[in-house]
Structures are given as structure tokens and as C-alpha cells.
Amino acid sequence: MIITVQKFGGTSVSDEQSRRHVLRHIVREHKTGHGLVVVVSAMGRRGEPYATDTLLDLIRDNGNTLAAREKDLLLSCGELISAATLTSVLCAEGIPAVALTGGQAGIITDASFGAARILDVQSQAILQHLSEGRVVVVAGFQGKTEDGEITTLGRGGSDTSATALGAALNAAVVDIFTDVDGILTADPRVVSDARPLSVVSYEEICNMAYNGAKVIHPRAVEIAMKAGVPVRVRSTFSDGEGTLVTRSETVRSRPGWTDRTVTGLAHVQGVTQLSVVTEDGPYDLQLRVFHAMAANGISVDLINVMPNAVHYTVKEIDSPKAIGLLRELGFEPRVRENCAKVSVIGGGMNGEPGVMAKIVGALTNQQIRILQSADSNTTIWVLVSGGDMAAALQALHAEFGLHLESYGGGMGS
């Protein structure tokens, strides 16, 4: 049996009107006779009654007294309500459907409540329902441990549920339906002329996602990549094809493909830059600094190491702890708060001369200071002040021509 997985995000299932759009996509797929597994997120965004953030607000005033296990019980409810509600829509339309919790769907995780990793997908129950002609609606973002404890997979984790099920069921495709037309060249909330890409490689979108592009969870892409399952990111509210995420060889073999140096931009806000500079520093300066960070569970990024200095960034939330640790070591760090990391990403920039020159040129033209930078063969990162972030993204987007219809890889190319 050919199996398709469709995942609908929070805004796609938030109200009756949006659920009619969801229904349209489900009906169309159901009519093909393919087995259909539908993964849903909790309904809506913060403030709407059953959204994940609204559930979190219920316990906000109690500090962190609720254990992670119980917090997961609470958070899992959003997706359960959503799955049962959508199933009622399908049944009312005469489409045989069944709703399953993540655990009932066979998603087995470790016991890291709040950020559980999927260990196994036991797909017998789903296959049984599919063989009996039902659409299977699965509550995303959750699983269960071997002992039957309910877990959640980390924010944005319904994407991960979808690709994990797609991989286990050897699905023909996993469709991630959301509120934009696909993967765009930048976050449309910051760059208004960002354009949807017709095709990107797993590596490129994984890179974009890890660097802040919220459109799909990076773990979800990793799972799809490992299994070789194609993913499409598309809009619930249109019939557009969206963006196909596939192997880079497939990307390059598509008709009309023109090589592109830069595929897209991503950004992360709320970053603090820490610099430890010493005149005649201890020979083990770097070792002491990074050991202290690691021992205290502080993740570091954008690391520049020099003989008498280290520069790196931490998340804003970790910065007071990181500064305290450095002081305990006898260092007085220079602290730059409210920075943003802007990433310029493209599988085609490897070995391509002049990319950094273009970045520096575009930012200098706008009088934007680069506070730090780093690069890999597919990404160049620049740290800028938070206030400069939007202007930096807009300038880089224009510099690389990402807004142009003719852009190699834009829709329909």
C-alpha cells in the first residue's frame, strides 16, 4: 500500500474555517486510495484555548515546581484535543477515521520529558487501521516510554512525529502543511519579499532550521534524510506545490535547475557575545573557559579562539550564569547583550570566491557592524547587534538577489 503522511501545524487546525482547508487536502489524498496518516499539532497560538503556550500559561505562576513528567502530561493534551476534533470533522464527512495518541501510534521515546528522543516506531496499530480503510489521525509532539509514561518531543516536535512515522511506514511523501507557501528564502516576518523555494536539499533546510528558520524542526529533517523520505513543506490554505526537500543530487538533477550560491537566510535573536581578553593570559585560558561552560551545561556558539582571547556567544537565558562562571575563574568578560546571529546558507557556496566580500559589502553599505563571524563550507554566520538584524537580513537578501523571480531555485524554476 502506498502511504502518505500529512502534518498540519497549529494555525492550520485553529478554527472551523481552517479545518475546512485541512479537510480539502485530506479528502483529495484519501480519494487516491493511498493509506493516509494525518499528524496534528495543538490548535492555534498563545491565547487560543488549547494551544501549547496557553497550556503552559496555566502553570506559569507556579514557577518551576511542576515536574517535567507532569508538565508533559499537560502539554500532550493540546495535540489530543486537536486529533479528536479533526477526527470528528472527518467522520462527519463520512470518511472513516480513528484518532491515536502518539503512544497508541507506536512512538516510543526515551524518558527525557520535554525533549524526548524517538527510539522506535512500532507501526502495527497504524497499519492495521490503514488496512481496514481508516484515515489515522495521530496526535503530534508526543510519544510514550517503554513504561507507558507520556513524553513530549520538544517545541515544534509535531514535524518530528510526522517524519518519524513517514520513515517507519516507508511513506511515499511527508507533507508538512503550514501557514506559508513553503520554505522561503528568509523569514517572511522580517523580509517581506522572501520567495518560496521549489526545492531544497535535506542538508540546506537542516542548516536553516538549526540556525533559526522555524518553518520545520531540524530533527524532523534529520530523520527524513536518514530514511530518504521526501518531504514537502506547503500551505494548508492554497493548492500550491510548496517546497520539496530531497537529496542534494536530486535537487541538482531537476529540469531548469540553475546553480545557486546562496539558498536562504536564517536568524536567531537573543544572543549574548562574551569576550575574555587577557594581556598575558594563562596558557590554558581556552581550556578553562570552555570546560567551565560545558560542565555547567551551557551551550556555546560562534567560537573564535586566539592566543590571548576567546570570543563566543551564549543564549541570553544562559548569559548571567556564564558571566558568573567566568568571574569565578578570575576573568572579567566583555559582555555584549541583545545580539543576533544571521546565517547565509547555501550548498553551492563551497569553494565559490567572493561570498564573504559580498556579505561585508552589503552590511557596510548599511553601516551595519559585523561583531563576529564564522564559516563552514555551506554557511557563513555573522553576529550583529539585535537592532541591526532586520536591516542586515534585508540587505543580504537583496545582495544575493533572493527576491528575484529568476532566482535559481525559486518557484517554478
Map grid coordinates 524526548 to a residue: 116
> Least distance to Mg ion from the beta carbon of 9, Å?
5
How many CB atoms neighbour CB 402 within 10 A? 26
The site partner of 52 among ligand ADP, ligand ASP, Mg ion, none (C-beta below 5 to 8 Å per kind) is: ligand ASP
By the rule CB under 6 A, 81 interacts with ligand ASP: no
By the rule CB under 6 A, 103 interacts with ligand ASP: no
> Least distance to ligand ASP from the beta carbon of 41, Å?
3
By the rule CB under 6 A, 319 interacts with ligand ASP: no
Q: 359: exposed, middle or buried (C-beta count within 10 Å: 0-12, 13-18, 19+)?
A: buried
Q: Which is closer to ligand ASP, CB of 215 or CB of 339?
A: 215
For binding to ligand ADP (CB under 6 A), which residues are involved?
Answer: 9-12, 41, 156, 178-180, 183-184, 186-189, 208, 213-215, 264
- What nine digits make up the cell of 380? 557563513
Q: Which is closer to ligand ASP, CB of 159 or CB of 203?
A: 159
Q: Looking at 3, 13, 22, 42, which residue binds ligand ASP (CB under 6 A)?
A: 42
By the rule CB under 6 A, 105 interacts with ligand ASP: no
Site for Mg ion in 296-355 (CB under 5 A): none
Which part of the chain contacts Mg ion (CB under 5 A), choosing from 4-12, 134-142, 220-228, 259-267? 4-12
The site partner of 123 among ligand ADP, Mg ion, ligand ASP, none (C-beta below 5 to 8 Å per kind) is: none
Q: Which is closer to ligand ASP, CB of 78 or CB of 102?
A: 78
Q: Which is closer to ligand ADP, CB of 168 or CB of 245?
A: 245
The site partner of 410 among Mg ion, ligand ADP, ligand ASP, none (C-beta below 5 to 8 Å per kind) is: none
Residue 309 phi, psi dihedral angles, 5° rounding: -155, 150
Q: Which is closer to ligand ADP, CB of 155 or CB of 321?
A: 155
Q: Which is closer to ligand ADP, CB of 35 or CB of 157?
A: 157
Q: Looking at 35, 102, 103, 156, which residue binds Mg ion (CB under 5 A)?
A: 156
CB distance 284 to 252 below 8 Å: no
Max CA separation in the chain (angstroms):
77
> Least distance to ligand ASP from the beta carbon of 317, Å?
17
> Least distance to ligand ADP from the beta carbon of 376, Å?
19
Site for ligand ASP in 131-150 (CB under 6 A): 140-141
Q: Is the dihedral of CA 95, 100, 102, 105 positive or negative?
A: negative
The site partner of 184 among Mg ion, ligand ASP, ligand ADP, none (C-beta below 5 to 8 Å per kind) is: ligand ADP
By the rule CB under 6 A, 18 interacts with ligand ASP: no
What is the C-alpha to C-alpha distance for residues 346 and 168, in angstroms, rounded to an integer?
30
Q: Which is closer to ligand ASP, CB of 117 or CB of 155?
A: 155
> Least distance to ligand ASP from the beta carbon of 143, Å?
12
Which part of the chain contacts ligand ASP (CB under 6 A), choosing from 59-67, 152-160, 199-207, 397-405? 152-160
> Least distance to ligand ADP from the beta carbon of 193, Å?
13
CB distance 265 to 345 below 8 Å: yes
Q: How far is CA 363 from the centre of its chain?
A: 26
> Least distance to Mg ion from the beta carbon of 159, Å?
6
Residue 48 phi, psi dihedral angles, 5° rounding: -80, 145
The site partner of 166 among Mg ion, ligand ASP, ligand ADP, none (C-beta below 5 to 8 Å per kind) is: none
By the rule CB under 5 A, 35 interacts with Mg ion: no
Residues that bind ligand ASP (CB under 6 A): 9-10, 41-42, 52, 78, 140-141, 155-159
Which residues here bind Mg ion, judged by CB under 5 A? 9, 156
